[in-house]
Amino acid sequence: MKALLLVGTAFAAVSLPMTAAAQVATPGAAVAPAATTQAEPSGQTTGLAEIVVTAQRRVENAQRAAVAIDVVSPGELTRAGVVTATTLNATVPALTVQQGGGANTTFFVRGVGNFTNNGYSDPAIAFNLDGVYLGRPTSTTGTFFDLERIEVLKGPQGTLYGRNATGGAINVIPAKPKLGERSVSLSGGFGNYNAIDVEAAANLPIGDNAAFRLAGKIVNRDGYNQDGTSDEVGQAIRAQLLVRPSPGVTVRISGDYSHQGGRGVGGSYVGTENFTPGTPATATSPANYTFAPANVDPYSGLLSRSGSAYFAQAVIPGTFINPAPLVRPYLNNTYWGLTGEVNADLAGGTLTIVPAYRHSKLDNLFNGPSFRGSLNRENDSQFSGEMRFQGPRVGPFDWLIGGYYFDETVKGQYGINQYQIISFQDFTSKTKSYATFGRVTAHLGDALRFVAAGRYTHDSKTFNGSSDTLVELCNNAPPPFGTGCFGGPSLPVVQTLAQVPGVPALPGPANAVPYGSAGNILFYIPNQVNAAISKGRVTYRLAAEYDVARASLLYASYETGYRSGGFSNAPGHETFAPEYVEAWTLGSKNRFFNSRVQLNIELFHWRYRNQQVSHYGLDANNATNYFTENIGTSTIKGVDVEAQVLVTRNTRLSGTVQYLDAKATSYTYNTPRDAASPPPAVGCAVTPTTAGGAAVYAIDCAGKPSYNSPRWSLNGGIEQTIPLGDRKLVLNGDARYRSNSVVGFEYLAQQNSGSFWTFDASATFGSTDERWSITGYVRNITNQAVPLFTQYVAPAGGVLSSVYAPPRTYGVRLGYKY
């Protein structure tokens, strides 16, 4: 009776606020495929489906995996409209996905992540495709098709995975070739914004001991913004060959290729922070600033008629000129990779070997209020090799040992235009990482287990780069002391210094050349970064697992993690140190009433030291640049509760609640200070001081919430199946609530998302054997404009802009299998 009361109370707490519902991946719980129930042995009732995961490098039921994990099925991805990594957060409450410009995709888990990534920094959330760690977040393009599932692990991954990650890991697991099976699956959809999404896969047997699988995907959609940005254009293909040369031995080879085109993500103007000395801090602006809203549509886009007219009124400090129009962005990026996997059952255990090579070639231009245009050319290549050996059980002990090698080279050339400043960055970054790892599980009886896992990692990194900067300044004082430089030119968007017109010879440091006819001059500032680091670290995990009942698991764990330091091609921020995390978890996974009720609870407490934050800011040359710095410590704690109930054979309810208390316990950094510039507009304490002999403003954000960490996240859903003979109708609804979170670096009032609800609904009609189906869907029914990333740019007139989640979308999707 107590168990029944507990389940009923918890489920009521989760689902009573919901008016619509969804099938949602939750802590430790697997989302069922389109068919949410499965037949059990004769005489039993049907129950919630079981999902197999490999998050702990072994095959196990998700309900028996004593880790904090969300699992998303292909059916759930389709219903939520997840066709790329950028919309994965629609199915995982703890995950936030952002795009800051160009090809970059960034992930936050419970407030841990980077605002943007490029060739300089390692991501806080590891992205693994088919068991292979992808060093560059740009390489996540073209992966979301023909999948078995996606696993999202929360918390440090410092023992069993390829590279250390302090915030979590995303495992994208493609469908594998199947021996003896001949099958073809086709699906395609179309919707508003001229959206077309086509996917196909074929599995062909080659004799009795081999199979070939080929899958491909095409996505083409107009931009959500009026200027055509935030579109989706891409093609991808994956081929796999599986061979079983002898019993107990399998060899699989996989190759994939994808292309990313279109214009890429785009934002819209929010307003301007205007320096107004003597203005007190208010709820909408920091001290000495007043905020003036842009009053444009959230989906207007920066290059729309209204956006261009708004930005043309801005004034660039230092040159006193109006900014030239933004240059239209584009993406032309290609990715390919080869992966091998060998599994051999030996007399002493099972050996697994996974070699892989990946290459990315990036050619893109992105823009924003801070950038008239940023031209990025980059070549990334990585080789990795992993070997694991799962030994036989020795008495009460299970054991696993392994080794890992990672070798990456990134060569980049960036031309970053900021109207009055151009930074020409040319660099080569190399990383070599070696690791050994192991795990031992002690079975103390049938119900109790203790787990100890450890890993030693050694990272060697080198960075050789230059950052040559041109700075345009006004040599003619503004009125009333002179005529000013109004009408002077913005600098051009070019790739190299030699392409700048009007600069016949390369000026030396502290020299200046005239530029334009309004009294402007150009200064040349060179900067060189040549550095190397070599760092080793031991990380470990200790855990206890107890089977309270046949379908009830209780577990507790303590684990450590670290993310290596690195470099930035930014004056004054050339290097940064590693960050460290300690994480405590207490969890319970339960099923009751013949697997008709599922209740999972996870309590967590993370503590970060020397935490890294990657962001855009002012470097020592007072130019906007991208760099990583160590800002202090933070504490992240909370609870996840997930429940699913199969009310009847054809009715399933689900709900999740995450309460998150994520806070910076210490957070300090410096930004340049000069007499000609106003104090920074930030929502933190600002103190003028000196550091290293230079005048700076000391910024203290201690006590502020972590970025992208809503205190409350609620998901709820309902799925109703209506049998119609040999056909069926499946109705799905889902509701999501997020409380306010900080979506910009400076903690300005305009960088708060605000709390919001979103609602989705779909109806699928098809055969009971799921050979064919037709689905109609509507997502974001209320057309809520949810800000995902809000950027403030002081050097471009104090403008703020936001990138928003997709508006209301709708369409139809058809599927056929044979």
Delineate the domains of the chain, giving CATH numbers in brackets: 2-472+525-817 (2.40.170.20)
Tens digits of residue pLDDT in 137-172: 666 667 888 999 888 888 888 777 777 888 888 889
Alpha-carbon gap, residue 667 to 764, rounded angstroms: 49
Tens digits of residue pLDDT in 541-578: 999 999 999 999 999 999 998 888 888 888 888 888 89
Residues in the chain: 818
Whether the bond into 480 is cis, omega within 30 of 0: yes
At residue 86 the predicted structure's pLDDT band, cuts being 50, 70 and 90, is: low
Alpha-carbon gap, residue 186 to 320, rounded angstroms: 58
pLDDT of residue 57: 77
User: Tokens in use for 726?
Assistant: 């040999």
* Beta strands per DSSP E along 619-755: 624-648, 651-672, 685-691, 694-700, 712-724, 727-738
Supply angle C-alpha 543, 88, 17, rounded to 5.
Answer: 80
The CB-side HSE value for 548 (13 A sphere, CA atoms) comes to 12
Mean pLDDT of the chain: 85
* Residue type at 236 in one-letter notation: A
pLDDT of residue 593: 92
Alpha-carbon gap, residue 129 to 139, rounded angstroms: 10
pLDDT of residue 473: 82
The CB-side HSE value for 432 (13 A sphere, CA atoms) comes to 4
Average pLDDT over residues 259-267: 92
Residue 572 DSSP one-character state: T
In sequence order, what DSSP letters do the residues of 155-215 get, joined into one string?
S-B-SSSSS-BSSEEEEEEEPPP-TT--EEEEEEEEETTTEEEEEEEEEEE-SSSEEEEEE
Instruction: List all residues 6 or more positions away from 257 whose beta carbon is below 8 Å from its beta carbon.
Output: 142, 236, 237, 334, 335, 336
The residue among 190 and 692 whose pLDDT is bigger is 190
Q: Which long-range contacts (CB under 8 A, 24 or more apart) does 63-66 make?
A: 63/28, 63/29, 63/30, 63/551, 63/553, 63/589, 63/591, 63/598, 63/600, 64/553, 64/589, 65/28, 66/451, 66/543, 66/545, 66/553, 66/555, 66/557, 66/587, 66/589
pLDDT of residue 244: 96
Q: How far is CA 640 from CA 380, 661, 714, in A?
A: 38, 12, 10
Dihedral, 502, 507, 512, 513 alpha carbons, nearest 10: -20
Q: Which residues of 642-653 are buried (b: 16+ CB within 10 A; e: fewer)?
A: bbbbbeeebebb
In sequence order, what DSSP letters do the residues of 594-639 get, joined into one string?
TTTEEEEEEEEEEEEEEEEEEEEEE-TTS-EEEEEEEEEEEEEEEE
Alpha-carbon gap, residue 563 to 158, rounded angstroms: 9
Alpha-carbon gap, residue 766 to 598, rounded angstroms: 28
Helix (H) or strand (E) holding 10: helix 2-15
SS3 728: strand
Closest Cα to residue 103, out of 359, 363, 391? 363
* pLDDT for residue 44 is more than 50: no
At residue 507 the predicted structure's pLDDT band, cuts being 50, 70 and 90, is: low
At residue 95 the predicted structure's pLDDT band, cuts being 50, 70 and 90, is: confident
User: Tokens in use for 127?
Assistant: 């992205």
Q: Residues 590, 600: contact at Cβ < 8 Å?
A: yes
